[in-house]
Amino acid sequence: MTTNIVVNGAHGKIVVRTWPNPTARYIALVAHGIGEHSGRYGHVAEHLVAHGAVVYAPDHLGHGLSDGERALVRDIDVLAGDLHRVAQLVRATHPALPLVLVGHSMGGLIATRFAQLHPGELAALVLSSPVIGGNPAFEALLQLDPIPDVPIDPAMLSRDPAVGAAYAADDLVYHGPLARLTLEAIFASGRVVAAGPTLGALPTLCMHGENDVLAPCEPSRAVMARIRGGTLVSKVYAGAAHEIFNETNRDEVLGDTTA
């Protein structure tokens, strides 16, 4: 059973979904991607709970149940700051438990930035299709004025058509085009992440779909090679698209996450 808590973020309330576990061995903090919300990660949270986690998953500013203009991102560091506020709350609630951060897509960028800004606070970092390497095709849109309306195509998310259908029918998902400010913020933050600092000794798992067109695999892998910590496990799933937690081989991905 999930419950919601509210955290005061930098620019409004941040709603955090929680999956309790009275016998938890660790805390898992989950950061979702652009335009979506943490409610889409229920199956991920349930897998983590079964593995021994208590799970907290905020809706970022401008997403889901949280305050803010829909899917407008002005500064990734603001979202990383909100995530840190959530982390401080959950660490105070569970002071004896180590904290693991799981981030998907833009959430992977936020999670990586969190790790850079707050070294020593995480026990492990898990990245699913992080946009830390940018996306040359989307960056090219910024050269156009006005930029064309290019919403995320649900068919790009997974080889499982049911995933795209559920995404398209989800009222808490933002279905419009990404704003220029949002694209600029994401790509600018990717450049900041790539410039360092490194992740030090932080154990990191970085996973990607081979056929990801939203967060291309190779640019992100190149950035990770520059900022990697002492322990990096890298996985690329053959034929998989962007949402590897929702892919046809999701059980493999979830198993690799907890392994």
Q: Is 59 a catalytic residue?
A: no
For residue 225, give both structure tokens: 């090679």
**Active-site annotation holder among 59, 77, 82, 212:** 212
Element (H, E) at 191: helix 180-194
Q: What single-letter amino acid sits at 23?
A: T
Tokens 């979702």 label which residue?
A: 32
Q: How far apart are the first and last CA of the chain?
A: 24
Residue 103 contacts residue 122 (beta carbons within 8 Å): no
**242 catalytic residue (yes or no):** yes
Rg (CA), the chain: 17
For residue 35, what are its two tokens? 């335009």
State yes or no: is 212 an active-site residue: yes
Q: Residue 81 has which token pair? A: 């700051």
- State the catalytic residue, choosing from 105, 129, 189, 220: 105
The residues assigned a catalytic role are 105, 212, 242
